[in-house]
Amino acid sequence: MGKTTLKKITYHEIMNMEKQERVHFVNSLGGFKSVGLIGTQNSNSQTNLAIVDSIIHIGSNPPLFGMIFRPGVVARHTLENILETGFYTINHIAEKIYKKAHQTSARYDRNCSEFEKTGLTSEYKNNFFAPFVNESNVQLAMEFKEKILLSINNTVLIIGEVKDVYFPENCLQKDGFLDIEKAETITCSGLDSYHKTIQISRLSYAKPDKIITLLI
Amino acid sequence: MGKTTLKKITYHEIMNMEKQERVHFVNSLGGFKSVGLIGTQNSNSQTNLAIVDSIIHIGSNPPLFGMIFRPGVVARHTLENILETGFYTINHIAEKIYKKAHQTSARYDRNCSEFEKTGLTSEYKNNFFAPFVNESNVQLAMEFKEKILLSINNTVLIIGEVKDVYFPENCLQKDGFLDIEKAETITCSGLDSYHKTIQISRLSYAKPDKIITLLI
């Protein structure tokens, strides 16, 4: 695409949008998202599965990830289960299960399991409390660590620590990089757009004295 | 990929990794990331540009995005400028500028501008204080709103509000969805792997009574 004049939309125009238009628009603005399926169960063994598109790396030592929950959202049962039991799983989404993953966002009753409703398979292993998604190629066992209220808009940041990681062995590179594209992980944009990826390349560690001979 | 036995790595194995291996590994686990170039200047008109791969949607009404800063990281000048001046820009990265974008992560001195060092072009418009990246197709003007210390690992969550958005007009769909793939936005994985995307599809709003005839 040649550089053309860009259209401008202001804060006030965003605030004046119809609600669904605003949600679609603003959700598109941050770039492609880290999306996964969050597996939980409550103390009565009622399982829950929710698609969450706000997974964020908080740190590596110890390994921590966060995610955002909005008040009153579909994923509220998931949030309740995490706070009640202290455990959850993060499961990457491959193209072969993206429709089922998306379907978990429907407002099912509390006594419905999205595993049953969508046909995804719950999997328990190594005595971890929360269920994994068997069809997922990359699975994280997570322990709840901290809940932080973001009072600016009453959302909640949930931070958890990685306890175990399951992945296809041939996707792990020697330097520790896990090739999630090879593991078929997809990404999403906005509320409902799903995307495969094509690796452009990995770049070496950037140093300040590098001679800039970069193509534009 | 057929479902094969997954390799397991535990928390203790992660903690026992060599530092760079752990950083590569853990950064790969959350999925593809929202990555952008953060443009700032300080009160002496010293500009700064930093690649940040932890952009997260916090809310749509009002439009809020967050990002994580680690203590002592390369992007510390960017964080200082945001806190000092209250303004910054988020600029999407297209394939044509991904090498220059990555190069902004080098540890340049405070009095160096990553715009000059990488050959990316700073752009000022509509009296907004912080510089945009001219070569970026999707640009957000952001106002700093809140700094939240995540004491669990001494990282900082910076939350800002979208004031203006610039984008190619032909990428905006009627329902408000902005087609960032059409705008050439790329994503990243781990510390240094850059990826283009191929849209699989957009899915309709999920309803609980949908008959599940989903392909596995």
A9 to chain B, any CB pair closer than 8 A? The answer is yes
Q: Could you tell me which of B50, B77, B95, B56 has the C-alpha nearest to residue B195?
A: B95
User: Residue A162: how many CA atoms within 13 Å on its side-chain side?
Assistant: 34
Q: What is the pLDDT of residue A216?
A: 41
Q: What is the pLDDT of residue B121?
A: 97
Alpha carbon distance A74, A79 (integer Å): 10
* Contacts with B194 from chain A: Cβ below 8 Å: 199-203
Alpha carbon distance A32, A25 (integer Å): 13
pLDDT confidence bin for A3, thresholds 50/70/90 = low
Say whether A208 and B14 touch across the interface (CB within 8 A).
no
Q: Could you tell me which of B67, B66, B65, B40 has the C-alpha nearest to residue B52?
A: B67
Is A165 within 8 Å of A180 (Cβ atoms)? no
What beta strand segments (E) does chain A contain? 7-10, 36-41, 47-52, 56-60, 63-69, 87-92, 122-123, 132-133, 139-150, 155-167, 187-189, 193-202
Which residues 140-169 on chain B approach chain A with CB closer than 8 angstroms? Answer: 140, 145-146, 148, 150, 152-153, 155, 157, 159, 161-169
Q: How far is B63 from chain A (nearest CA, A)?
A: 6
A130 or B70, higher pLDDT: A130
For chain A, the distance separating the N- and C-terminal CA atoms, rounded to the nearest angstrom, is 13
Report the percent of chain A where pLDDT is more than 90: 86
Kind plus residue range of the DSSP H or E element containing B19? helix B19-28
pLDDT confidence bin for A73, thresholds 50/70/90 = low
Q: How far is A194 from chain B (nearest CA, A)?
A: 6
> What is the average pLDDT score of chain A?
93
Alpha carbon distance A14, A177 (integer Å): 39
Our CA angle for B177, A36, A23, nearest 5°, is 25
Q: What is the pLDDT of residue A209?
A: 73
Q: What is the pLDDT of residue A133?
A: 98
Phi first, then psi, for residue A134 (nearest 5°) are: -55, -35
Q: What is the pLDDT of residue A1?
A: 47
B4 or A146, higher pLDDT: A146
The tens place of each residue's pLDDT in chain B, 216 residues long, gives 456 799 999 999 999 999 999 999 999 999 999 999 999 999 999 999 999 999 999 999 999 999 999 876 667 899 999 999 999 999 999 999 999 999 999 988 888 899 999 999 999 999 999 999 999 999 999 999 999 999 999 999 999 999 999 999 999 999 999 999 999 999 999 999 999 999 999 999 898 876 555 544
Is A200 within 8 Å of B101 (Cβ atoms)? no
Phi first, then psi, for residue B118 (nearest 5°) are: -105, -10
Alpha carbon distance B74, B51 (integer Å): 9
Is B84 within 8 Å of B43 (Cβ atoms)? yes
Q: What is the pLDDT of residue B3?
A: 65
Say whether A31 and B185 touch across the interface (CB within 8 A).
yes
Q: What is the pLDDT of residue B1?
A: 47
How much is the ipTM here?
A: 0.95
Least confident of A60-64, A81-85, B32-36, B208-212: B208-212
If 0-12 CB within 10 Å is exposed, 13-18 middle and 19+ buried, where does residue B101 land? buried
pLDDT confidence bin for A75, thresholds 50/70/90 = confident
Q: Chain A residue closest to B112 (CA)? A: A208
Task: Enter the tokens of residue B10.
Answer: 């535990």
SS3 B83: helix
Q: Which amino acid is at A177?
A: F
pLDDT surpasses 60 at A203: yes
Question: Residue A64 contacts by C-beta under 8 Å, 6 or more apart in sequence?
Answer: A57, A58, A145, A159, A160, A161, A162, B152, B153
Q: What is the pLDDT of residue B210?
A: 62
* Contacts with A127 from chain B: Cβ below 8 Å: none
pTM for this predicted structure: 0.95
